[in-house]
Amino acid sequence: MATTTAAVTLTSDLLSDNMSVSASTTCMKAGTTADGLDQMEYGYLDLVTGDEYDLIAATPTATKASKLYLKNHSTDETYFIAVTQNAQAIGKLYGGDWMFIPADFHDAAGDIAITANGGTNKICYALFHEGTALVTT
């Protein structure tokens, strides 16, 4: 079984006592404990301003257990990318920010799209999934 593990440590001193949360999960196929995600794509790209682009164009099999990691590697903190799914705004990743979500490619419109602001943003992403509809040539 392929094994993909995602761990996070979150700390904050905003509260009266320091908060520290650690979590780790093994990324499994949908609804099973026996089989891990076994396919992935990984990329690093320059994202120019001006248009919205599909980062993931809803090709992984719908309603499965895909996991998407996305980081804005821009070093200018005023740069950001706006992230949407199916035209619904999720939020903005400023330079240095990352996100990790269980992306739900529920139908052909469920694309993950990104738009650069401030200048050309440098993006790193990884999608772990369990199946993709390949496009024939």
Partner 1 sequence: MATTATISISSDIAPGFGGISESMTLTQAGNLIDIDSTTGFSIRKLSADSVVDLVTMASELVEPKDSVAAKIFIRNIGYKGVIDKAVGVTIGVNAEPIGKLYGGDWMMMPLTCIDADDITATPATDDTVVLEYVMFYEEA
Binding site for partner 1 (CB under 8 A): 2-15, 19, 21, 23, 25-28, 30-33, 37-40, 42, 63, 65-66, 69, 71, 77-78, 80, 83, 85-86, 88-94, 96-104, 106, 126, 128
Comparison of 49 and 100: residue with beta carbon closer to partner 1:
100
The torsion of the CA quartet 73, 127, 100, 66, rounded to 10 degrees, works out to: 170
Q: How far is the CB of 137 from partner 1 (least distance, A)?
A: 23
Q: How far is the CB of 5 from partner 1 (least distance, A)?
A: 5
Spell out the residues 6+ positions from residue 55 whose beta carbon is closer than 8 angstroms to its own.
70, 111, 112, 113, 114, 123, 125
- Give how far Cα 88 sits from Cα of 110, 114, 129, Å: 10, 11, 22
Comparison of 89 and 135: residue with beta carbon closer to partner 1:
89
